[in-house]
Structure 1
Amino acid sequence: MSFDAGALAAAVERLGPLVRVLVAGAAGSVPREAGAEMLVSAGAQEGTIGGGTLEWQASLRARELLASGAAGAVSRVPLGPALGQCCGGAVTLAFERLDAARLAQLGTGSLVARALDGSAMPLAVVRLLARARGQGALPRLPLLEGSWLVERAAQPARGLWIWGAGHVGRALVSVLAPLPDLAITWVDTGAERFPEVIPAGVTQLVAANPAELVAHAPREAEHLILTFSHQLDLELCHRLLGHGFAAAGLIGSASKRARFHSRLRGLGHADAQILRIACPIGDPALGKHPQAIAVGVAAALLKGSSEMKTARDRAGGRAE
């Protein structure tokens, strides 16, 4: 994860002043990796650093820091019998009080470096920032040097368009919406097709002809096509192939893949381009239940290759 100023500003607006608890370092067996975070306000908590006694004690300390008005703190916590845990590793936690004024001070840039206690910047951080500017060289982040914390600023979110709000679409959104760094746009033909509550961070779009919205999708976006209509699915595939996309997946079977390949070829698309649309989506070994499909897609997205691997990889050959 990274320092997401926009998301943190939204959290401060929603929760009021808060303490961000960041796993700044991890060694051995630990519940969460470096970069995991949770937000603790006077009356709420969001996110997790792994649960259990570690998280409970970290929440108490965060609220103590919030009440005291201190800017921040650092704590190294061994995960052993003293906590009633048997992980055997250790984590270093950075506690940072955030409000609108503090976020405004941190400014912008590809790296966010700041003191948790007001101390002067150590030479190691000065050199790190100089190497980053001059050579583009970065160590593993986040980095805690004394009481100075250095993180990479969040990059623009990965755009994912989900076409269809049926059972599989709903399952996908429920599983994918909580994941970091995903900006989901959810499209269908009527507001009544969506659930009453749309998850935070998901943009709902209603269009009588969803295919007309393809022109508004960024060309670097990824797409999952799973509408109620095969004809609409085909039209979306056709328009996306003409528009451009980073990756795309189509719900269906081997026979649907073959029919669509033939029809898209008839519409003038080259085989190499058609094969960029993966069909089916999900992990067949997990079954066809909507949540099972969603879990398979989410796992692939987290691996970085996405479930929009080429149909050639999926089928082991040409999809004809």
Structure 2
Amino acid sequence: MAAPRSLSEFLSAQLCVIRVALTRVRGSSPRNEGTEMFVAPGSLWGTIGGGQLEFIAINAARDMLRDGALHRDMDVPLGPEIGQCCGGRVELKLTRMRASDKWAAKERAARREDALPKVYVMGAGHVGRALANLLQYLPVCCILVDTRPEEIELCTANVETRVSAIPEAEIWRAPEGSAFIVLTHDHGLDFLLTTAALERKDAAYVGMIGSATKRVKLRNWAQKHCDGLSVEQLNCPIGASGSRDKRPSVIAAFVVAEVMADLTSETAATALTGANQAPLRAHHHDRKGRSA
């Protein structure tokens, strides 16, 4: 049986499930209040932080599954008592899920999914597919776009794919606060898509693959053909602070780190599997190679 790809699939596949909710945090903790984990007899979904805390919670949940208990509250010190050194203390609420609880959890998950920031990968070549492979595991909605169906078909990641004869239209229709990573097979198309993203002025991130020379060429082209459009907010080269290794998977790793830094706040520690959605922000750093 294939592993579930979403909480909804997980809950639909399990008859008996215990919901483990982190209801209170005092001091240091690996996760924030509102974080959820779902425990079934032979599988689980989500995490409350791993380590001994999670081990204890899973065992308690499976005890409930065996003995038929409906509720249990736990107060767990994150110190030497359980072999952890966080130093804080957490309270957990364990609840056997009814059909209505599962439905409500699916609805919450769907709302969180809809609210995920959108990351448009404009180009399904080697680096584009490597980006999709990484982004599928992060709290974003990745959309891989290309004009070439044969390249889209090579993508095996669990992301949305779109074959578009007019890829700039995907940028025009994107929601506010989206991220755009441009790396097509054609420099002219790169320029067209990048300027379309910059002209929106509401993107959380705009990046274009290429060198500092390519950035200068785009700047000059935009000044001439786009009413002097500024490229100040453009990230190019993308992943410039990383390694000189140019293998697609390595480039993708540094680019994903760069994108996520712009999408998420440094203090946004609550993951989207919890009750609270991490706040998003759009900000821009001065990065190596970014001077216009």
Instruction: State whether TM-score is above 0.5.
Output: yes
SS of equivalent residue, structure 1 residue 93: strand
1:240 maps to amino acid: A
- Aligned-partner residue type, residue 28 of structure 1: G
> Within 5 Å, which residues of 2 pair with 1:222-233?
222-233=179-190
Query: What letter matches 2:56 in structure 1?
Result: Q
Contact 2:121 2:144 in 1 (8 A): yes
Q: Give 1:236 shift.
A: 0.8
1:92 alignment counterpart: 91
The alpha-carbon deviation at position 50 of structure 1 amounts to: 2.2
Does the C-alpha gap of structure 1 residues 11 and 99 become closer, same or farther in structure 2, counting only changes over 3 Å? Answer: farther
Q: 2:116 maps to what in 1? A: 157
SS of corresponding position for 2:216: helix
Deviations 1:167-187 (A, max 9, x none): 43233333333223x222111
Partner residue in 2 for 1:197: 156
Q: With CA pairs under 8 Å and 6+ residues apart, which has the higher RCO, 1 or 2? A: 2
Q: Distance between the aligned counterparts of 2:50 and 2:98, measured in 1?
A: 25
| Residue ranges of structure 2 left out of the alignment (5+ in a row) | 1-5, 266-279
Matched residue count = 263
- Name 1:269's counterpart in structure 2: 227
CA distances 1:86-141 after superposition (whole Å, capped 9, x unpaired): 33322222223335422446898xxx9xxxxxxxxxxxxxxxxxxxxxxxxxxxxx
Q: Distance in 1 between matches of 2:194 and 2:74?
A: 52
Corresponding residue for residue 146 of structure 2: 188
- Given that residues 117 and 263 in structure 2 are in contact (C-alpha distance below 8 angstroms), is that contact kept between their aligned partners in structure 1? no
Instruction: Note the 1:69-88 alignment, pairs <5 A.
Output: 69-88=68-87
Tell me the residue number matched to 2:174. 217
TM-score, reference length from structure 2: 0.74
* Contact 1:198/1:204, CA 8 A, preserved across alignment: no
Higher strand share: 1
Of 187, 195, 201, which residue of structure 2 is paired with 1:238? 195
How far is the alpha carbon of 1:260 from its aligned partner?
0.6
How many Å separate the matches in 2 of 1:286 and 1:215? 33
CA 1:20–1:186 in structure 2 vs 1: closer, same or farther (change >3 Å)?
A: farther
Instruction: After TM superposition, give the deviation of residue 258 of structure 1 in Å.
Output: 1.0
Change over 3 Å in CA distance of 1:87–1:207 after alignment to 2: same
Residue among 232, 250, 253 paired with 2:208: 250
State the one-letter code of the partner of 2:78.
L
Secondary structure of 2:85 counterpart: coil
Residue 258 of structure 2 is aligned to residue 296 of structure 1: yes
Which residue does 1:60 correspond to in 2? Answer: 59
**What amino acid does structure 2 have at the position aligned with 1:174?**
N
Q: Give the TM-score taking structure 1 as reference length.
A: 0.68
What residue in structure 2 maps to residue 175 of structure 1?
A: 134
Q: Matches of residues 106-117 of structure 1 in structure 2 within 5 Å?
A: none
Q: Equivalents in 2 of 1:87, 1:106: separation in Å?
A: 29
* Cα drift, residue 37 of structure 1: 3.1
The answer to whether the 8 A contact 1:28-1:90 is kept is yes
3-state secondary structure, aligned to 2:213? helix
- Cα RMSD for the two superposed structures: 3.3
- Once residues 213 and 264 of structure 1 are traced to their aligned partners in structure 2, the CA distance between those partners, rounded to angstroms, is 20
Supply the distance in 2 between the matched residues of 1:37 and 1:287 (Cα, whole angstroms). Answer: 39
The answer as to 2:284 corresponding to 1:309 is: yes
Distance 1:203 1:220, change over 3 A: same
2:86 counterpart SS class: coil
Q: CA 1:41 to 1:283, structure 2 compared with 1: closer, same or farther past 3 Å?
A: farther
1:67 Cα deviation from its structure 2 partner: 4.2
CA change 1:73–1:156 in 2 (3 A) is same
The letter of the residue matching 2:124 is: A
Which residue number corresponds to residue 166 of structure 1?
A: 125
Q: State the SS of the aligned residue for 2:81.
A: helix
The one-letter amino acid paired with 1:160 is V
Per-residue deviation, 1:234: 0.9
Q: 1:316 to 1:48 in 2, by over 3 A?
A: same
Residues 287/183 of structure 1: CA separation in 2 closer, same or farther (3 Å cut): same
Q: Percent identity?
A: 34
Q: Deviations over 1:59-105 (max 9, x none)?
A: 12222333445443321111233323333322222223335422446
Quote how far apart the aligned CAs of 1:263 are. Answer: 0.9
